[in-house]
């Protein structure tokens, strides 16, 4: 391989473009390297070191046979500053869902960009889209669509069972808020299964922070006799700040829903017991329901919760 071409590949982490090559070497160096099997073209105008391509033995696009990060850089080189990683690829870059092998790279482009999709590359042309803030941010050195819009765009692309997870995690990790997601949803009026997403956002805005809490909200802890619980209520006990799952303020009762894997570790159990004891010094009773009990006996959980609340009211 021509030394100038090799230097470009090294500097570009295995990747270079036609325009970069012809600035330092004749075009024939590309042709010679391709004929020798040393250089491959995954996309028009984009070249990479053929040694980085996995051999699969089947007819699979080059983009699907290289490392995901390299494939994304190749796509962005193809876009040449005119696009940003979007939808499922952006969700991966944000760290909220890993793209499985075989899933294509997603690229968002302004309307009229002239670029089109290729094997293992899905492009979307968006009216009013601009590759820059606030619509696009740089994360890990890659331009990606902003998180709120990414989460909304991915909603209909994911299997129903996997849809809520990234949104719940993004809110729990304080990467976004339910309010910002509602604003992003307003920008996509024709989103498939929009009502279900709006329902989830309403639950998140109410303070639900897990699928179990959402299920409990919908099936157990609302309705006749139930107070309006304050979710994620903040309580100061000495120098410590404690967040309560569902706090009935008048009755001074905090309902905690323990997930399916909670308390597998005795150390974690001890931490919770110490936390409950601290809350007791503030007159707060902690009531815990397990994942299994909540799902298997929701009527019983509801009845017991109402009885506890009534008992606390009678003592006050």
Q: Where are the domains of the chain?
A: 3-52, 76-205, 211-315
Closest CA to 96 of 88, 104, 107: 88
- Long-range contacts for 234-241 (Cβ within 8 Å, ≥24 apart)? 235/279, 235/282, 235/284, 237/278, 237/279, 237/281, 237/282, 238/278, 240/278
**Looking at residues 117-138, what average pLDDT do you find?**
96
pLDDT for residue 186: 97
Can you give the pLDDT at residue 1? 84
Number of neighbours of residue 227 by Cβ within 10 angstroms: 18
Average pLDDT, integer, range 185-209 = 95
Tokens of 13: 């982490």
> Average pLDDT, whole number, for the chain?
94
Beta-strand ranges (E) seen in the chain are: 15-17, 39-43, 46-49, 84-85, 105-110, 121-126, 136-139, 142-145, 230-237, 240-248, 253-258, 285-290
**DSSP characters for 238-289?**
TTEEEEEEEEETTTTEEEEEE-TTTT-SHHHHHHHHHHHHHHHTTTPEEEEE
Q: What is the DSSP letter of 207?
A: T
- What is the pTM for the complete model shown? 0.86
pLDDT band at residue 261, thresholds of 50, 70 and 90? low
Q: What angle do CA 129, 167, 221 make, to 5 degrees?
A: 140
Task: Work out the angle at residue 177's Cα, subtended by the Cα atoms of residues 164 and 139, and round it to the nearest 5 degrees.
Answer: 85
More confident residue, 259 or 276: 276
- The mean per-residue pLDDT over the stretch 74-84 comes to 97
Q: How confident is the model at residue 259 (pLDDT cuts 50, 70, 90)?
A: low
Using the predicted structure, report yes or no on whether residue 305 has a pLDDT greater than 90.
yes
> What architecture is the 211-315 domain classified under in CATH?
3-Layer(aba) Sandwich (3.40)
Q: What is the mean pLDDT of residues 114-130?
A: 95
Residue 246 has pLDDT above 90, yes or no: yes
The dihedral sign for the CA sequence 106, 108, 112, 115: negative
Q: Determine the straight-line distance between the first and last CA of the chain, rounded to whole angstroms.
A: 85
Which two structure tokens, joined as six digits, stand for 11?
């500097």
Beta bridge partners of 244: 233
d(CA 31, CA 28): 5
Instruction: Tell me the C-alpha to C-alpha distance, in Å, between residue 293 and each of 170, 215, 219, 308, 313.
Output: 28, 13, 13, 17, 25
- Integer Cα distance of 165 and 67 in angstroms: 25
Q: Pairing mode, if any, of strands 136-139 and 105-110?
A: unpaired
Q: Which of the pair, 56 or 298, is modelled with greater confidence?
A: 298
Task: Look at residue 116 and tell me whether its pLDDT is greater than 70.
Answer: yes
3-52 topology per CATH: Arc Repressor Mutant, subunit A (1.10.10)
- Asked if residue 315 lies in contact with residue 271, where contact means CB atoms within 8 angstroms, the answer is no
Is residue 263 scored above 60 in pLDDT?
A: no
CB 121 within 8 A of CB 107: yes
Token readout for 78 is: 């193809």
- Sorted by sequence, the CB contacts under 8 Å of residue 272 that are 6+ apart come out as 263, 288
How many whole angstroms separate alpha carbon 264 and alpha carbon 260? 9
pLDDT attached to residue 265: 72
């Amino acid at each position: 391989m021509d030394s100038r071409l090799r230097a470009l590949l090294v500097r570009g982490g295995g990747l270079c473009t036609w325009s970069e090559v012809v600035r330092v070497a004749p075009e024939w160096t590309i042709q010679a390297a391709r004929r020798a099997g040393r250089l491959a073209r995954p996309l028009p105008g984009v070249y990479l070191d053929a040694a980085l391509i996995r051999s699969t033995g089947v007819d699979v696009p080059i983009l699907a046979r290289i490392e995901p990060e390299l494939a994304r850089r190749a796509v962005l080189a193809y876009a040449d500053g005119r696009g940003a990683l979007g939808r499922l690829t952006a969700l991966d870059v944000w760290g909220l869902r890993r793209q499985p092998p075989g899933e294509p790279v997603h690229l968002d482009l302004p309307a009229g960009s002239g670029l089109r999709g290729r094997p293992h590359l899905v492009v979307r042309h968006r009216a009013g889209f601009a590759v820059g803030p606030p619509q696009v941010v740089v994360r890990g050195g890659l331009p990606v669509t902003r998180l709120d819009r990414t989460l909304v765009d991915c909603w209909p692309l994911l299997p129903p069972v996997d849809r809520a997870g990234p949104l719940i995690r993004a809110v729990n990790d304080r990467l976004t808020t339910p309010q910002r997601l509602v604003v992003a949803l307003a920008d996509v009026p024709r989103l498939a299964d929009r009502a279900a997403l709006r329902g989830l956002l309403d639950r998140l805005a109410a303070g639900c922070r897990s699928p179990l809490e959402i299920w409990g909200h919908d099936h157990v802890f609302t309705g006749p006799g139930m107070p309006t619980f304050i979710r994620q209520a903040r309580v100061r006990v000495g120098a410590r700040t404690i967040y309560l799952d569902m706090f009935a303020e008048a009755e001074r009762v905090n309902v905690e829903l323990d997930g399916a894997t909670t308390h597998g570790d005795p150390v974690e159990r001890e931490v919770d017991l110490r936390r409950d004891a601290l809350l007791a010094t503030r007159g707060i009773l902690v009531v815990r329901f397990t994942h299994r009990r909540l799902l298997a006996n929701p009527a019983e959980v509801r009845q017991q919760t109402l009885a506890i609340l009534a008992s606390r009211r009678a003592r006050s």
